[in-house]
Structure 1
Amino acid sequence: MTNNGGVDSVDWKILAELQNDASITNKELAERVGLATSSCHERVRRLRATGVISGIHAVVDPVAVGRSMQAIIAVQLRPHRRDLVDRFTADVLAMPETLALFNVSGPEDFFLHVAVRDSAHLQRILIDRLATHPEVWHAQTHLIYGKAVTAPLRPDR
């Protein structure tokens, strides 16, 4: 093991494979990373137990389920009170359109990632859901063109 969170080079190989396709069998994973199946299973179990692997989920294409428009909404709250922030967070996470909510530093307090059917649906989110919160001081919408380009988490060089 190294000192980068207790993750060694073999663990990083396992993580790379699982980030690419978490549905592979343990036997196939072990073959790809050059381990015995029992050793591979134990490493994956440890990575889960220590929180390195925090979940496995399906990625659903928003377009395939009728939500062809995505946006990032930069939100500023005023005043900054724990009860208002907690209520705002809970309400936004309860919206079916929400894909992610990030609490950030800088002029904005949150970046809200949503997937909606069209511009009218987005406008309803802004007016009927966000603007109803008196603590929402400002919201600025940024449309997302195309699919997100993502990268797996990799070891430091």
Structure 2
Amino acid sequence: MHLDRTDFAILRELRKNARLPNKTLAERLGVAPSTALERVRRLRAAGAIQGFHAEIDPRAAGIGLQAMISVRLARHARGDVDAFHAYLLTLREVLSFYHVAGANDYLVHVAVRDSDHLRDFALDAFTTRPEVSHIETSLIFSFRRNPDLPVYRDADEP
């Protein structure tokens, strides 16, 4: 998909505020509202925009503690990796996860009620899995998402 400067500007604005009214988006871009609307539709259809989300205050959902759990697998067979990936998607405490290179294989961002919940979750969710050989938990004191979008492509690149 070829993106031009206007497309990149749309992506940046929507990353900062996905609920930005189309009229405001068009004004910020210096284009007609119909152009902004059509561009957003095209970006969604092409998969450049994969979805929209709301940033929720964790306390409003009863989340009192977040942690990053590093997970090391016992083996790196595709079946084990695929099974663990699918398993992570079933856990409601898992906010996101990253399959990474290095000493550990996964970084799993979890949200729980409190330290007791974290302990029980880690023991029940990870130490019982045959593909897991090691876990290490790091508490998250604060989390902020950067609303800016780094763009590493030229608008003129195909």
| Alignment of 1:83 onto 2:79 | yes
Q: 2:35 aligns with which of 39, 46, 49?
A: 39
Give, in whole Å, the separation in 2 of the partners of 1:108 and 1:71: 16
Q: Say which structure, 1 or 2, has more relative contact order (CA 8 Å, 6+ apart).
A: 2
Further displaced range: 56-65 or 146-155 = 146-155
Q: Which runs of 5+ in 2 are unaligned?
A: none
CA shift for structure 1 position 152: 2.3
CA shift for structure 1 position 149: 4.3
Q: TM-score, normalised by structure 2?
A: 0.89
Q: 2:143 aligns with which of 129, 138, 147?
A: 147
Query: CA offsets per residue over residues 122-147 of structure 1, 9 Å max, x none?
Result: 11111111001011101111111123
Q: Which amino acid aligns with 2:26?
A: A
Q: How many residues align?
A: 153
Q: What percent identity do the matched residue pairs reach?
A: 45
CA shift for structure 1 position 45: 1.4
Q: Which runs of 5+ in 1 are unaligned?
A: none
Aligned to 1:95: 91
| Alignment of 1:51 onto 2:51 | no
Q: 1:29 aligns with which of 21, 25, 40?
A: 25
Query: CA offsets per residue over residues 32-91 of structure 1, 9 Å max, x none?
Result: 211001111121112112211111122222222111211111100011222222222222
Q: 2:122 aligns with which of 103, 119, 126?
A: 126
Aligned to 1:16: 12
Q: Which amino acid aligns with 1:25?
A: P
Further displaced range: 17-26 or 5-14 = 5-14
Q: TM-score, normalised by structure 1?
A: 0.89
> Contact (CA 8 Å) 1:27, 1:37: kept in 2 or not?
yes
> Contact (CA 8 Å) 2:15, 2:147: kept in 1 or not?
no
Further displaced range: 80-89 or 16-25 = 80-89
Q: 1:115 aligns to what SS in structure 2?
A: strand
Report the RMSD for the aligned CA atoms in angstroms. Answer: 1.6
| Alignment of 1:62 onto 2:66 | no
Further displaced range: 83-92 or 29-38 = 83-92
Give, in whole Å, the separation in 2 of the partners of 1:10 and 1:149: 23
